Amino acid sequence: MSGTGVFKVLGFMTGTSLDGIDMAVLETDGEQRLTFGPWAERPMPDTVRAVLQATVKAALSWPRGTPEPEIFNEARKVITDYHFSSAQGFLAEQGLSFSDFDLLGVHGQTVLHERPKAGVPGRTVQLFDGQAFADMTGVRVVSDFRINDVAAGGEGAPLAPVYHRALVAQAVLGLPVVVVNLGGVANITVIDEAGDISAMDTGPANGLMDQWVQKHGRGHYDAGGAWAAHGTADPALVAAYLSHPYFSASAPKSLDRYDFTLAGVDGLGFEDGLATLCEFTLESLLLAIRMSGVAPKAVVLAGGGRQNAYLVNRLRTKLDLRTQLYLSEDLGWRGGAIEAEAFAYMAVRSLRSMPISFPATTGVPQPLTGGRLNIPSAR
């Protein structure tokens, strides 16, 4: 350990956008002690992405109660090897080695997430081979962070709120604060005036917009929201998206990236489609903030969507004038590293049997720890 009760951890995150891997070094006690080391983003090779895209397709048509699709095993090996090669390169650049770490915290690749409903338990799959990774690296690995929560009747997401609270406390922001993660799906963490946390997924963030760009053969995403900025949103189509029952459901609640489709904008031109999807992201986010019941003094944007300048500017015009809007970098946070840091932080909490999900963040009946510890096999 790096100090009394402090662990040096390498955290990993691969999101549903399948654009790459984030890695971040964090020294933490799983509470308020946060010391930040180097971090990096690495693009996902097309070969890895192709396997995962095929795996997601198989997962979406996987009937409950039947054996998992065969491709899952191939994907586990591919994603685990990708983590290992990415980490090797990152650590070599930083003059570090796996032996410098007490623990590795790995989210794994989400290929399916179904929220519980009408007496049917949720189902979530994050593919990764934690034991193989522990054996490859010689370091203890915590993975499978969502399984306990779902098994106990929780949504399984979002999990980062416990880390967001630690970041906000360190930044000494006036409460209440809303932290927004703009990934494939958007979610918010609400820290109220008492410092208590609640959370929910708010709707699509980058997911639908990225799919639209890819469908039209224009690359992987709309850089800076430049194409959306040249389009005109269709208010009727935005309203149609927002009529989905999810948006009237009470929190906590969670989404899969594929719970919404492009069908609602199929008749639009490229730029108008992007503008409409961007407005859907914006309006669903604002709806969730209103639903939270707080008037935030600050809203902090993290995740890849914070780089969509058009979306950020639209949000700025819509927020209450008394609410300060920050990009994560404005507070000295590493916007691209926050989720990797979060799973490093939660790995320590898991090791210490501390809760990572709570009734007001995932709907779990009581605060619950999570994560599966994998110990390297004797060599």
Cα three-residue angle 192-196-202, rounded to 5 degrees: 70
Instruction: Identify which of 12-21, 23-32, 254-263 has the greatest average pLDDT.
Output: 23-32
Quickly state the pLDDT bin for 379 (edges 50, 70, 90): low
Quickly state the pLDDT bin for 378 (edges 50, 70, 90): confident
Is 330 annotated as a binding-site member? no
Report strand pairing: 123-127 vs 34-43. Answer: unpaired
Compute the average pLDDT of residues 113-142.
94
Residue 1 has pLDDT above 80, yes or no: no
Q: Residue 298 pairs with which residues in a beta bridge?
A: 177, 324
Dist. CA 252–CA 113, nearest whole Å? 15
Residue 79 has pLDDT above 80, yes or no: yes
301 neighbors 324 (Cβ within 8 angstroms)? no
Q: How far apart, in Å, do the first and last CA atoms of the chain sit? A: 22
Among the listed residues 363, 10, 15, the one whose alpha carbon sits nearest the alpha carbon of residue 161: 363
Residue type for 38, please?
Answer: P
Is 21 annotated as a binding-site member? yes
Residue 181 has pLDDT above 60, yes or no: yes
Is 267 annotated as a binding-site member? no
Is 19 annotated as a binding-site member? yes
36 neighbors 332 (Cβ within 8 angstroms)? no
Residue 88 has pLDDT above 70, yes or no: yes
Is 17 annotated as a binding-site member? yes
Compute the average pLDDT of residues 301-321.
95
Q: Please state the pTM of the whole predicted model.
A: 0.94
Quickly state the pLDDT bin for 3 (edges 50, 70, 90): low
**Residue 2: per-residue pLDDT:** 58
Compute the average pLDDT of residues 247-257.
92
**Residue 4: per-residue pLDDT:** 64
**Residue 120: per-residue pLDDT:** 87
Is 320 annotated as a binding-site member? no
pLDDT over 90 for what percent of the chain? Answer: 91
Is 119 annotated as a binding-site member? no
| Distances in whole angstroms, Cα of residue 280 to Cα of each of 182, 188, 247, 273, 319 | 13, 16, 12, 11, 15
Is 66 annotated as a binding-site member? no
Compute the average pLDDT of residues 288-294.
95
**Residue 97: per-residue pLDDT:** 98
Quickly state the pLDDT bin for 257 (edges 50, 70, 90): confident
322 contacts: CB under 8 Å, gap ≥ 6: 295, 297
203 neighbors 285 (Cβ within 8 angstroms)? yes
Domains of the chain as residue ranges with CATH:
7-155+365-374 (3.30.420.40), 161-331 (3.30.420.40)
Positive or negative, the Cα torsion across 302, 307, 312, 313? Answer: positive
Kindly report the average pLDDT of the chain as a whole number.
95
179 neighbors 192 (Cβ within 8 angstroms)? no
Residue 235 has pLDDT above 60, yes or no: yes
Residue 280 has pLDDT above 80, yes or no: yes
* Residue-wise DSSP of 46-89: HHHHHHHHHHHHHHHT--TTSPPPTHHHHHHHHHHHHHHHHHHH
Number of other CB atoms surrounding residue 244 within 10 Å? 14
